[in-house]
Structure 1
Amino acid sequence: MRRPVIAGNWKMHKFIADSVATALALKPLVANANHCEVIIAPVFTAIKSVADRLEGSNIKIAGQDCAPEKKHGAHTGEVAADMLRDAGASYVIVGHSERRQHYAETDTMINRKMHAAIAAGLIPILCIGETLAQREAGIAERVVRGQIEGGLRELTASDLEHIIIAYEPVWAIGTGRTATPEQAQQMHSFIRRVFAEKFDEEASRRLRILYGGSVRPDNIAGLMAQPDIDGALVGGASLEAETFARIVNYDRG
């Protein structure tokens, strides 16, 4: 049985005090959410403060990105994966569409970050997904397959036990447009099939695949009802504790 994951990506929002206040407001609201893993990804500068205040709670911390290098050194401006772990993170988002679009991250770069994250003992959340132009051109599955194969290159069977994939249709991120539950399920099922083909059937059954793209309290239950959707990577709706808590505590029927 795959345990669902509800993760909130705060992106470049909130100073340290705001981050701590939001985390502390969220803590009692999701304290009884034993049905899923709850994760928040604050900005780098707030990770340590938030992690310290949430110690002992059921809320885990993720970094929003990490450096591709495994060793410390002359990499100005980068944050190593083991530095994130040292600050209190146990997960890291890798290959988010905004990194791919705005910072020209390639599958090769993302693959290096996956290896670095795993080497540091973090659980990477690998983000994949097509743009609107790619979907309309009928190549969405080809794009997603390439991102899976590129991002997971040379990872071992043991490594694959410690990853999460997040499908983010780029055309639905921050636009208010959301893939229907059926559209999301179709791609999630495809991702699981590709994973089975590339690795093995049993590993694909254990793989957790999250949906990301304008997830809100009013659409989470429909998404989670789909057989291959194992959770959500939430953007804007995770910035307010009460709203995010409503997503975490979705109606499970």
Structure 2
Amino acid sequence: MKNLLALNWKMNKTPSEAQAWAEELKTQLTLGDAELAIMAPAINLQALSWFLKDSGVAIGGQDVSAHESGAYTGEISAAMLKDVGAKYAVVGHSERREYHGETDAVVATKAAQAQAGGLVPIVCVGEGLDVRERGEQVPYTLAQLRGSLAGVGADVVIAYEPVWAIGTGKTATAEDAEELAAAIRAELHTLYGEAAESIQILYGGSVKPDNIASICAKPNVNGALVGGASLKVADVVGMNDALK
């Protein structure tokens, strides 16, 4: 299965900065065995779609509305993302769960809406430090997974992100990532049968060029959801090259 590098810019880069980043990337990147996709602020997606046209690099939204359309000021629908060329939409990122109070039920509704609009949802799950210290990371994450996939089809990507490793400089070991990825894969078999074998499971949390290869070498890890290291072209090229 091909690795996916989903580059989550979070709330960074103006449209002009995004254009400069895309133009620099095109001069340095030679795609190898991994797929690249940029999860950019919605305001940047149309420009990225244009500047990365025919580059092989996909784009996606950092969130998607739970509603198809209507009087939902500030929301971005799946149809809007699809129309500007998006392939993916991240749902349930830990920052959305923490700062916006998104429950598993909300995440599942957003994921289903993304699929209905022709997008592949990247559904994020993962435990906080308190759960990890209690040794409850597997049952906690699997319960979150089940709730976040209720009513959602198998055309999905799962991102395991231990919350304690996001933006902290702390990284779960490759063995930690595999422990959860294997458990997630087994749960996906329960939910989707043999289709589970074709679902990409990403690791997210302080991923960098110097650790991505060891993490993605594990049998149930199929790429990464990358935060801080996605902002510099040199780091993106380094991660891409490490997976060749």
- Can you list the C-alpha shifts for 1:41-75, whole angstroms capped at 9, x where unaligned? 111111111111111111100100010012x1110
- Aligned pairs (5 A) from 1:31-180: 32-70=30-68, 72-155=69-152, 159-160=153-154, 162-180=155-173
Report if aligned partners of 1:27, 1:59 keep a CA contact under 8 Å in 2.
Answer: no
Find the aligned partners of 2:191 and 2:59 in 1 and give their Cα distance. 30
Find the aligned partners of 1:37 and 1:74 in 2 and give their Cα distance. 36
* RMSD value, Cα: 1.1
Tell me the equivalent position of 1:18.
Answer: 17
- Aligned pairs (5 A) from 1:207-226: 207-226=199-218
Report if aligned partners of 1:192, 1:205 keep a CA contact under 8 Å in 2.
Answer: yes
Find the aligned partners of 2:125 and 2:186 in 1 and give their Cα distance. 15
Matching residue's letter, 1:50: L
Find the aligned partners of 2:209 and 2:15 in 1 and give their Cα distance. 26
Q: Where do 4+ consecutive residues of structure 1 move more than 4 Å?
A: none
Tell me the equivalent position of 1:6.
Answer: 5
Find the aligned partners of 2:221 and 2:129 in 1 and give their Cα distance. 21
Unaligned runs of 5+ in 1: none
Find the aligned partners of 1:207 and 1:46 in 2 and give their Cα distance. 28
How big is the shift at 1:198?
A: 2.5
- Can you list the C-alpha shifts for 1:143-174, whole angstroms capped at 9, x where unaligned? 2111211111123xxx30x2110100000000
Unaligned runs of 5+ in 2: none
How big is the shift at 1:251?
A: 5.0
Tell me the equivalent position of 2:240.
Answer: 248
Matching residue's letter, 1:16: P
Find the aligned partners of 2:110 and 2:240 in 1 and give their Cα distance. 28
Q: Counterpart of 1:154 in 2: which secondary structure?
A: coil
Report if aligned partners of 2:32, 2:243 keep a CA contact under 8 Å in 1.
Answer: no
Matching residue's letter, 2:17: D
Report if aligned partners of 2:34, 2:243 keep a CA contact under 8 Å in 1.
Answer: no
How big is the shift at 1:199?
A: 2.4
Matching residue's letter, 1:4: N
Matching residue's letter, 2:27: P
Find the aligned partners of 2:40 and 2:22 in 1 and give their Cα distance. 9
The alignment's TM-score, normalised by the length of structure 1, stands at 0.94
Identity, % of aligned positions: 41
Find the aligned partners of 2:2 and 2:72 in 1 and give their Cα distance. 36
Q: Counterpart of 2:242 in 1: which secondary structure?
A: coil
Find the aligned partners of 1:125 and 1:198 in 2 and give their Cα distance. 17
Matching residue's letter, 1:141: V
Report if aligned partners of 1:94, 1:110 keep a CA contact under 8 Å in 2.
Answer: yes
Find the aligned partners of 2:28 and 2:150 in 1 and give their Cα distance. 39
